[in-house]
Amino acid sequence: RKAMLATMTGIFEDFGFAPVETPAMEFLDILLGKYGEEGDKLIYPLAYKGGKTLGLRYDLTVPLSRLVAMNPDLPRPFKRYQIQPVWRADRPQPAQGRFREFYQCDVDTIGSAAISADAENLAVCYRVYEAFGFNDAECGLVMRVNNRKLLRAIVEAVGLPGNSDRVVCTALDKIDKIGREAVESELRDKGIAASAIASLFEVIACGQSTGGEPRQTLAAVRDRLGTADAAVAAGDEMAQLFDALDALEVPANILRFDLVLTRGLDYYTGPIYEFALSGLDNFGSLGGGGRYDDLMANYGVGDLPATGVSIGLSRVQSALQRLGRIGSRRSPAQALILRLGDHGVEHSLRLATRLRRSGVPCEVWYEPDRFKKQIQHADRLGIPFVVIQGPDELERGVVQLKDIRKGEQREIAEGDLADQLRAS
Res. 325: pLDDT tops 90: no
Q: What is the dihedral of CA 10, 361, 408, 395, to 10 degrees?
A: 150
Instruction: Calculate mean pLDDT across residues 347-361.
Output: 95
Residue 283 lies in a domain: no
What percent of the chain is modeled with pLDDT above 90?
59
Residue 186 and residue 81 share a domain: no
Instruction: Please report the sign of the dihedral spanned by the C-alpha atoms of residue 64, residue 65, residue 67, residue 71.
Output: positive
Residue 133 and residue 2 share a domain: yes
Residue 87 lies in a domain: yes
Res. 80: pLDDT tops 90: yes
Q: Tens of pLDDT along 337-349?
A: 999 877 778 999 9
Residue 163 and residue 102 share a domain: no
What pLDDT is recorded for position 35? 82
Q: Tens of pLDDT along 300-313?
A: 877 899 999 999 89
Q: How many domains are there within the chain?
A: 3
Residue 364 and residue 268 share a domain: no
Res. 94: pLDDT tops 80: no
Alpha carbon 141 to chain centroid distance? 13
What CATH number did the domain enclosing 36 receive? 3.30.930.10
User: How many Å from the N-terminal Cα to the C-terminal Cα in the chain?
Assistant: 20
Q: Tens of pLDDT along 203-244?
A: 888 878 888 899 999 999 999 898 888 899 999 999 999 999
Residue 178 and residue 77 share a domain: no
What CATH number did the domain enclosing 383 receive? 3.40.50.800
Res. 322: pLDDT tops 90: no
Residue 109 and residue 36 share a domain: yes
What pLDDT is recorded for position 174? 86
What pLDDT is recorded for position 329? 64
Residue 282 lies in a domain: no
Residue 412 and residue 392 share a domain: yes
Residue 130 and residue 147 share a domain: no
What pLDDT is recorded for position 328? 61
Q: How far apart are CA 150 and CA 23, in angstroms?
A: 35
Instruction: Give the burial class of 79: count Cβ atoms within 10 A of its Cβ; 0-12 exposed, 13-18 middle, 19 or more buried.
Output: buried
The residue segments making up the domain with residue 228 are 141-277
Residue 121 and residue 5 share a domain: yes
